[in-house]
Structures are given as C-alpha cells and as structure tokens.
C-alpha cells in the first residue's frame, strides 16, 4: 500500500480512515480529496483535517489533500495520472436518506456520475501498465430497503430501495460489478450500518438529538419508538475497511473455465440492533455524564413519538459472517462506550 487515494477524506469515515493509514502505513503516499461542501457544518470537516495534519507531521508518510469534486472528470483523471494509485477507497458521496427526497440532483452528481468517474479512472490506470490493485467503495445498509428477512445477508436480493440514496448505492454495486467483469478490476463494496462516534455527521440522529436537547427543544422519535438500528462505532468501521483494502478479491476462473469477476460485497455492522427508545435513553445519560446536559434535565418532557418518515425502514440488522470468515473481524464496541466517547467529544468541541 504505497500509493493510496481516499475520496471524501474530510468526511466522517474518510478522515478516520486516513488517520489510521497515517499511523499504520510506512513510507506511503496518501492522497485525500473532498469538495468540502456545506451539506453540514464545514467546521467539523476542517477539524478532522487538522487532526490528520497533526498526525502527518509525526510520521514518515506523505499526506496530500486536494479540494475537488469526484463529479469533475478532468480533476479525477489528472490526479490518477499523477499518482498511479495502488489502492483507491471511494468514500465520497452525498449522504442522507431524507435529503435525497428534496435534493435528488446532488445524489446523481456525486453518487452516480462521481462514482462513474472513479471507475473510468481505475480502468484507464491499466493502460499505464500499473493498474489499481483494489477499489474499495462505500455502499450502505439502505440497499436492503424493505426486505423483511433479518438479519440482512450479502446473499439477499436488494431490489426494493425505498429512497433515491439507497438506489444510488445499489447502482454503485452494479456498476462496480460490471467494471470488474469487463476490465478485471478487483473491487469490494462495503455496506455500512448506522455509523456513529466523535466528530460524526450532524445529520445523523444521535448528533441531531444532542443538538436539540442542548437547545431545550423536543426530539422526534420515529415509528413511535419501534425502530431498531444496528449502530456501528466508527473505529469498527475503519478496522473493517483497513483489513479489506489489503486483500482484493482474487482473479480466478470458474468451473467452466471462464473468468469470475474479482468482486465482493461485505456488511460492516455491530449485529446488535438497538431499540431507538433505549438508544436515546443511553444517549441522554451519557450527555448528562459529560456535562452537555444538566443533571436535572427532564428528558421525558423533551421527546415526542411520531410516525415513520418517508425513506426510513423499521429495522437494520447486519449479518457479518462473511466478514468474520474472510477477515477474522467482527465489530463489537458496546453502544454505551461509543456514545460516551461521542458525548465527551461534543462537550470538548462545542463547550
């Protein structure tokens, strides 16, 4: 892993992955790109980049950050020509289920056109005689849509997306499979399950709940509290990516002698769905402990049970047996421990 590209490097997962690479790799060139859009508070993205810079000053790796958009074909092509990447980790995407209902253009630009540009750049890299050894990209648990069978397995059909965001992520998997088949590009898709932790995305429920509770506003708990989510701590997500990126799917032939696409998909989730009511109760306890909320905070007066929102599903639940079998890893950070770290960071960041 000498030349690595991480797109979405100022994002929640991307920045944590870069930080891990900067500490684990040696004599490597790590290039990060991000368009630094204002979908959420840019100050958090800048905070993440400062953390990376501080790590980079104390190691032997070369860190290069470039501001740009993966939907800009010329920008992507020029970066690939300059660096001849060994590994590409595409984490840049327009995230959020509800936002996709009101702003669909952003999802087509970033998640479809942007990902196409990454695939084309990977294909073109083979013409140089180098070739990307492994493309790893972010998919999502949202691809399971309205599937009734749980836990969700990578062997399940995922033909029932309930949001445009989910549809774009499923499209990414189909596009990657086609390029693996046509151009022999090893690629792995990772379906992340409700990622949380310090310096996370403010549009995620745990972060939004915290903001509202701190302001004394009511929080809305959807599906009347009957939702369950497979909350996965950020360090577990990064550990999964780090292990997977080092082992691309092998090029091999099937029983008929024809090549099998070097393509794989894995779930990364905690495999322990938490009831949303229990989740927010644990969250408020940790916010009180960290001093974000006062000890006499009346939590019951600040929550409201409401109906399900468009694009949501009632439960997410990851079957991670494939990840365990192939990489010997299973996410296991307890929810309370993860929320405690978030609450402590929130107190430090916002005061």
Q: What is the DSSP letter of 307?
A: P
Return the C-alpha torsion angle 126, 128, 130, 135, nearest 10. -40
Q: Output the DSSP codes for 121-162.
A: HHHHHGGGT---SEEEEEEEGGGGTT--SSSB-TTS-----S
Give residue 1's pLDDT band: very low, low, confident or very high (50, 70, 90). Answer: low
pLDDT digits (tens, 9 = 90+) for 327-337: 999 999 999 99
pLDDT score, position 14: 98
Chosen CATH of 3-193+232-269+317-332 out of 3.40.50.1580, 3.40.640.10, 1.10.3720.10, 3.40.50.720: 3.40.50.720
- Domain residue spans in the chain? 3-193+232-269+317-332
Count helices and strands (H / E) in the chain.
Answer: 12, 15
305 Cβ contact list (under 8 Å, min separation 6): 220, 221, 224, 225
Give yes or no for a contact between 345 and 286, defined as CB atoms under 8 angstroms apart.
Answer: no
**Active-site residue, from 40, 144, 165, 263:** 165
Q: Is residue 248 over pLDDT 70?
A: yes
Rounded-to-integer distance, Cα 210 and Cα 269, Å: 23
Q: CA-CA distances (angstroms) from residue 27 to 17, 61, 232?
A: 17, 5, 31
- Condensed to tens digits (0 to 9), the pLDDT of residues 77-93 reads 999 999 999 999 999 99
pTM: 0.95
* Residue 233 a catalytic site member: no
Question: Radius of gyration of the chain from Cα atoms?
Answer: 20
Residue pair 34/8 in contact by the 8 Å Cβ criterion: yes
Q: What's the pLDDT tens digit per position in 299-347?
A: 989 999 888 777 677 788 999 999 999 999 999 999 999 999 999 999 9
């Amino acid at each position: 892993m000498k030349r690595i590209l991480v797109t979405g490097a100022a994002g929640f997962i991307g920045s944590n992955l870069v930080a891990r690479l900067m500490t684990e790799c040696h004599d490597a060139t790590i290039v990060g790109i991000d368009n630094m859009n204002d979908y959420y508070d840019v100050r958090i993205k800048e905070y993440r980049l400062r953390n990376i810079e501080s790590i980079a000053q104390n190691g032997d790796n070369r860190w290069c950050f470039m501001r740009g958009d993966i939907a800009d074909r010329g920008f992507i092509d020029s970066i690939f020509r300059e660096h001849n990447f060994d590994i590409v980790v595409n984490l840049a995407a327009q995230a959020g289920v509800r936002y996709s209902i009101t702003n669909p253009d952003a999802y087509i630009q970033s998640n479809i056109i942007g990902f196409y540009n990454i695939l084309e750049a990977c294909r073109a890299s083979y013409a140089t005689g180098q070739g990307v050894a492994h493309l790893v990209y972010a998919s999502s648990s949202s691809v399971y849509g309205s599937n009734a069978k749980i836990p969700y397995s990578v062997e399940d059909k995922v033909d029932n997306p309930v949001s445009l965001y989910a549809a774009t992520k499923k499209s990414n998997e189909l596009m990657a499979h086609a390029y693996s088949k046509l151009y022999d590009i090893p690629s792995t898709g990772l379906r992340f399950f409700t990622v949380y932790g310090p310096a996370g995305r403010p549009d995620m429920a745990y972060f939004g709940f915290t903001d509202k509770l701190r302001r004394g506003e009511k929080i809305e708990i959807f599906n009347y509290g009957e939702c369950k989510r497979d909350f996965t701590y950020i360090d577990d997500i990064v550990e999964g990516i780090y292990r997977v990126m080092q082992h691309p799917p092998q090029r091999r032939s099937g029983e008929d002698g024809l090549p099998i696409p070097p393509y794989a998909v894995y779930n990364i989730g905690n495999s322990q769905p938490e009831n949303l009511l229990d989740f927010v109760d644990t969250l408020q306890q940790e916010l009180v402990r960290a001093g974000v909320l006062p000890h006499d905070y009346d939590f019951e007066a600040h929550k409201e049970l409401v109906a399900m929102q468009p694009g949501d599903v009632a439960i997410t639940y990851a079957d991670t047996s494939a990840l365990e079998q192939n990489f010997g890893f299973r996410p296991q950070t307890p929810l309370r421990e993860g929320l405690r770290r978030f609450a402590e960071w929130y107190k430090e960041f916002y005061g």
